Structure 1
């Protein structure tokens, strides 16, 4: 398996491991989606390696390599950021600093909310799985600001490319608000392309209908 991230390869592995499913799924928003992505099932070495290689490739292309700091939000972001740091070193010879947060502040030992790299005064790239409304990411931004750190960019595994409150997606809104790049390894369009080549006509029609109703350009 190639170390270079390919969206179609990730989609295949995700389908094989039930991380990505097709069918009818009611989301928190009430929308009935023709597919569902469950990042909690990214629980094999193969999946984690493919995902981490994707994050690392994106960082190698877009981030400042000389003083790279990457951050994963608890809990899912912790293994993602650790694996990405390893992939950056093994595949790109980039020695990134990495850290994550606790859900609750530690009141003994070193204390505090953050673990790992010292983030004070740093520009930090944040790694996340899927962004829907962007609420969790705004909490991460606020947490970093309390540590006198700022967000340099954000990378998510999947961009659903759906409208938020208005005509723009949460990713588009966040990119404009923070004035930083918000990148995605796989988008809704990649999944449609995969279904067009490998899925059924029914799956493809459902995906296209969903995009027409809720999608953004």
Structure 2
């Protein structure tokens, strides 16, 4: 990781902490694990936060070097994320169309389950995190059914932990499973490795106290 990439990830972690989207303590995950940290992208809930978040997504996508033609936001969180990223990309001189899906088909007006630009070309799926990969699978099906190509998945945080539950732990992470299943990269703004580096270099004792718990969690559930 270059120093610029590390600084970018640190900026995002600071941003998430200030917005109280990232918190440390003890939290039960959907998999039933007790995690020392919690990330909830739904907390980016005002215009200023969304504007900054979109810029982080856009910078991460551009710096990845992935070739893309448009964005897709899976309902529901992905809708706002794709829209704000499209706005940020336009501000950086890279205007691209975006599209999102409805959970239920509309039977009047334009009808259908898709809203926005027609899906075509190389499509980047934008979401907050990947837990079980269900949202990605549904998105890939929608994109392929429209004759377009899924190019990558862009998320805010990669927890870099093995899939499974508190008692049944797999050898690979949900992100790795998605990359293998669909043969496309998953790009994250930040990940557990950058979170560890952030805590290790922090001069804030209130944050540093959580480092042992995060290390223990990584040792138990982290991927190699």
Give yes or no for TM over 0.5. yes
**Post-superposition CA distance 1:85-137 (Å, at most 9, x none):** 1111112x112011111111111111111011111x43211111011121221
Q: Secondary structure at the match of 1:213?
A: helix
Q: Secondary structure at the match of 2:163?
A: coil
1:53-72 matches, within 5 Å, as: 53-61=55-63, 62-64=65-67, 68-72=69-73
Counterpart residue number, 1:73: 74
Counterpart residue number, 1:20: 22
**Post-superposition CA distance 1:143-194 (Å, at most 9, x none):** 2222222211111100000101421111111111111111111101111122
Equivalences, count: 209
1:147-158 matches, within 5 Å, as: 147-158=146-157
Q: Select the residue among 182, 185, 196 that pairs with 1:181.
A: 185
Counterpart residue number, 1:109: 109
**Post-superposition CA distance 1:15-57 (Å, at most 9, x none):** 1221111000011111000000011111133322232112212
Counterpart residue number, 1:204: 211
| Contact 1:98–1:116 (Cα < 8 Å) also in 2 | yes
What CA distance in whole angstroms lies between the structure 1 residues aligned with 2:105 and 2:124? 22
Change (3 A) 1:95 1:200: closer
Query: What displacement does 1:200 show?
Result: 4.2
Counterpart residue number, 1:191: 195
- Stretches of structure 2 that go unaligned for 5 or more consecutive residues are 1-6, 165-169
What CA distance in whole angstroms lies between the structure 2 residues aligned with 1:111 and 1:214? 44
- TM-score, normalization: structure 1? 0.90
What CA distance in whole angstroms lies between the structure 1 residues aligned with 2:109 and 2:128? 30
What CA distance in whole angstroms lies between the structure 2 residues aligned with 1:200 and 1:64? 37
Counterpart residue number, 2:221: 214
What CA distance in whole angstroms lies between the structure 2 residues aligned with 1:13 and 1:202? 20
What CA distance in whole angstroms lies between the structure 1 residues aligned with 2:45 and 2:207? 27
Query: What displacement does 1:210 show?
Result: 0.1
| Contact 1:10–1:50 (Cα < 8 Å) also in 2 | no
- Stretches of structure 1 that go unaligned for 5 or more consecutive residues are none
| Contact 1:25–1:35 (Cα < 8 Å) also in 2 | yes
Q: Secondary structure at the match of 1:29?
A: coil
